[in-house]
Amino acid sequence: MTTRYSAFIQAVANDDALPIDKEATELWLKDLHNPGRWIIRPILQFFFGALLHLIWFFKRLPLPQFRAHNTLQSLICWFCTHWVTYEANVLILRHFATESNILNFLNDHDEQPSDPIKLYPTTITDMLRDSFVEHDQELFRLVGSFQSAQTQQPPNQLIWTHWQPINQNQYDIKRKRTQVIDFETAHVLFMCLFCLLLTSDEYRDAINGFQLDQAIAIRVGKLIGDPSVVEYAYNKYPHYLVGPWNLTHRFFMHGFFTEYLYARLEHCRQSTAEV
């Protein structure tokens, strides 16, 4: 059934002021119109938000720390396979690719490039290997290894060695009738488990990793000579550590940020290739 959008949503879908792939726009809009996001999620967010802060409180106490990365990722993959919508699953897999591409682009332009990121899962099962924890650690590894502030490069001198364009057909996700939970609601249901099954430092770092969006955008903007890309970043000021308050919204906006920045860079790459 074709989703009927309001005049405002149609305007947003057709506006090209913010770069984003057409396929990604369709996925986001369909996911945002999931009835559960508007009816069930607010109730769940109230309950799980309170539980999250309670778990966060106990994890911060001077008690023995524990982690269960494999268990966490196995549960995520099982949940995504059976309960999360097709659109949300594709958006999750796209996020690995968009952020890996952006970081590899910056790494290729560093004075002494580190090993590139290889997190490009194309199936839900791939996320047993390319996990969310690994995703965070690779982000911190590369950002922490950058040795220079990038300077503007002519378009024909930009390096795309480790850039992997996203092809919507590359994702192999089997549709199931039980897949009814949207992206945001899925995050609400799992945010407490993330906090519980990571050490306090791992979890604190993970929820503050979004704040690096601003720094990443600044570097990209300098390289391509477009400082306006900094406006894509909702999460800012990484020197100020935050807690889990408003976490789902910040996570969601981080997803939009990587989609915008990926589309902007892909446009640069294609424009250079056509010259």
pLDDT digits (tens, 9 = 90+) for 58-112: 999 998 999 999 999 999 999 999 999 999 999 999 999 999 999 999 999 998 8
Closest by CA position to 202, among listed 58, 38, 66, 15: 66
Residue-averaged pLDDT of the chain: 93
What is the token pair recorded at 46?
Answer: 């109230």
Residue 25: pLDDT above 90? yes
Contact 244, 188 (CB under 8 A): no
On the CB side of 136, CA atoms within 13 Å amount to 17
Q: Which residue has the tokens 């992206």?
A: 183
Task: Give the global pTM.
Answer: 0.93
Residue 146: pLDDT above 50? yes
Q: pLDDT value at position 13?
A: 87
Confidence bin at 3 (pLDDT 50/70/90): low
Q: pLDDT value at position 149?
A: 64
Within the chain, where are the H helices?
7-14, 22-32, 35-39, 41-59, 69-82, 86-108, 132-145, 183-197, 200-208, 213-224, 247-274
Confidence bin at 1 (pLDDT 50/70/90): very low
Closest by CA position to 257, among listed 62, 67, 6, 18: 18
Closest by CA position to 117, among listed 102, 138, 98: 138
Please give the Cα distance from 95 to 253 (Å, whole number).
Answer: 12
